[in-house]
């Protein structure tokens, strides 16, 4: 990868070569910093690299190999072959990573694992999911005008997947150009250890607020501790038993967890406000409404204690996302009966801050079934939420398939086994060519 020093007129620019082997391409992508909302440089590099590939392959239209179109929507880059083939496969991957944790630039290190030496590529985004991006980019460049291609291809590289759903670049693309997501099968390059992971679980987040009365801790009887008012929520979480759900041979594991809490003023003050964020990961057999109702019931909350200042009454739950820091909204929107009580059972009020529905496995779809057969029937459930959900909602069969251990995603010591990058590249090449589709 060649780097151009930054200038006074813009950010640093990068050059990618999509024809290089996918391992080297993975390192090149990883070494372009791209935390969520900062994907312009990597999107520019991807767009330029795709344009160079297209320009070198006899564009425009060629009677034998058709044409390839490249479009840019924000920091989302889309490339499509127009070959008139009988089916279309969408290869989709997100360009963003979680915040960098002193884990760039990338490094390849040979380590012993189960008695063997294994090459591992370390760096932010190696597993989630720049290795998957590299596989897709390399295969698109290699196959877009190959006579062996069995399916027309749509390549979508998008931004802001790792943050709130309202910022998701694929969602933004779907809103303005839903036609670009059309296909017979979508493959998301999320880390799956090189196996097919079907469907995905849904996710929602609730912020549970409490209000009390501030006082000096030496005279605590004059106050009402807002942190203590959250105790029933934590007790409910400690008692909660999650479901394991089998759907089409895939086992999904639900979870209800406190993920963030804030409260307290000083070491000698009884706090008058507090809140806790609760995340519910739910199996795809639950609708968003059912999942929300289940979480509210499990936490002992009451529907009447809900407030949604951003969306107002009657909004669909999956469209409700806080547009401002919700801790700043509590003072204006928490009901108060004079004693700080908001809900008869818990003394709290709650707000839905994020909701994304799950996706059923959909393995009975012919296109998905063909991919599973090509993989030797190896398939398992996707525990996390992915954009498979968006494709499924649009009626496009979708699966997760990419190199990388999902358990290493977002970690400071994130890595991807180098051999998996080559293995997934080879498998998908076989599937996408006429030889692999027989």
Active site includes 116?
Answer: no
**Token representation of residue 151:** 């399916």
Active site includes 96?
Answer: yes
Alpha helices for 9-61 (secondary structure H): 22-30, 40-55
Which are the contacts of 159, defined by CB distance < 8 A and separation ≥ 6? 36, 37, 39, 43, 74, 75, 76, 94, 95, 96, 169
Return the SS3 of 108. Answer: strand
- Catalytic residue (choose from 161, 321, 354, 420): 161
DSSP category for residue 10:
B
Distance CA 361, CA 159 (A): 25
Task: Could you list the beta-strand ranges (E) of 83-151.
Answer: 88-94, 107-113, 116-122
CB-CB neighbours of 394 under 10 Å: 14
Element (H, E) at 186: strand 185-188
In degrees, rounded to 5, the angle at the alpha carbon of residue 243 between the alpha carbons of residues 242 and 244 is 130
- Catalytic residue (choose from 39, 96, 128, 193): 96
Q: Are strands 88-94 and 152-158 parallel, antiparallel or unpaired?
A: parallel
Distance CA 362, CA 247 (A): 10
Task: Could you list the beta-strand ranges (E) of 33-87.
Answer: 67-73, 76-82
Q: Which residues are catalytic?
A: 96, 161
């Amino acid at each position: 990868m060649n780097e151009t020093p930054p200038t006074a007129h813009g950010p640093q620019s990068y050059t990618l070569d999509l024809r290089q082997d996918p391992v080297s391409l993975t390192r090149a992508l990883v070494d372009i910093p791209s935390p969520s909302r900062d994907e312009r440089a990597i999107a520019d590099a991807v767009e330029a690299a795709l344009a160079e590939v297209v320009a070198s392959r006899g564009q425009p239209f060629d009677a034998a190999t058709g044409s390839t179109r490249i479009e840019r929507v924000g920091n989302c880059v889309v490339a499509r072959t127009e070959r008139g083939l009988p089916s279309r496969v969408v290869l989709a991957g997100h360009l963003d990573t979680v915040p960098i944790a002193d884990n760039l630039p990338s490094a390849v290190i040979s380590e012993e694992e189960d008695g063997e030496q294994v090459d591992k590529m370390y760096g932010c985004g190696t597993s989630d999911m720049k290795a998957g991006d590299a596989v897709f980019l390399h295969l698109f460049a290699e196959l877009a005008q190959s006579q062996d291609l069995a399916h027309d291809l749509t390549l979508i590289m998008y931004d802001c997947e790792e943050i709130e759903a309202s910022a998701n670049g694929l969602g933004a693309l779907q809103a303005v150009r839903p036609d670009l997501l059309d296909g017979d099968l979508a493959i998301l390059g999320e880390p799956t250890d090189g196996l097919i992971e079907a469907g995905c679980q849904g996710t929602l987040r609730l912020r549970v607020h409490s209000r009390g009365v501030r006082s000096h801790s030496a005279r605590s009887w004059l106050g009402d501790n807002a942190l203590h008012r959250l105790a029933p929520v934590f007790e409910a979480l400690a008692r909660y038993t999650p479901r394991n759900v089998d759907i089409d041979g895939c086992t999904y594991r639900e979870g209800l967890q406190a993920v963030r809490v804030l409260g307290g003023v000083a070491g000698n003050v009884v706090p008058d406000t507090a809140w806790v964020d609760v995340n519910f990961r739910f199996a795809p057999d639950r609708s968003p409404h059912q999942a929300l109702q289940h979480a509210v019931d499990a936490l002992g909350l009451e529907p009447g204690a809900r407030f949604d200042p951003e969306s107002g009454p009657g909004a669909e739950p999956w469209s409700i996302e806080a547009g401002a820091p919700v801790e700043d909204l509590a003072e204006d929107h928490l009901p108060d009966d004079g004693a700080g009580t908001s809900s008869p059972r818990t003394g709290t009020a709650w707000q839905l801050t994020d909701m994304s529905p799950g996706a059923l496995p959909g393995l009975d779809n012919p296109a998905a079934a063909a991919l599973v057969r090509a993989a030797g029937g190896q398939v398992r459930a996707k525990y996390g939420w992915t954009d498979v959900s968006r494709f499924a909602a649009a009626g496009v069969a979708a699966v997760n398939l990419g190199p990388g251990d999902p358990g290493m995603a977002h970690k400071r010591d994130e890595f991807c086994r180098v051999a998996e990058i080559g293995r997934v590249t080879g498998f998908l090449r076989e599937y996408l060519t006429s030889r692999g589709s027989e």
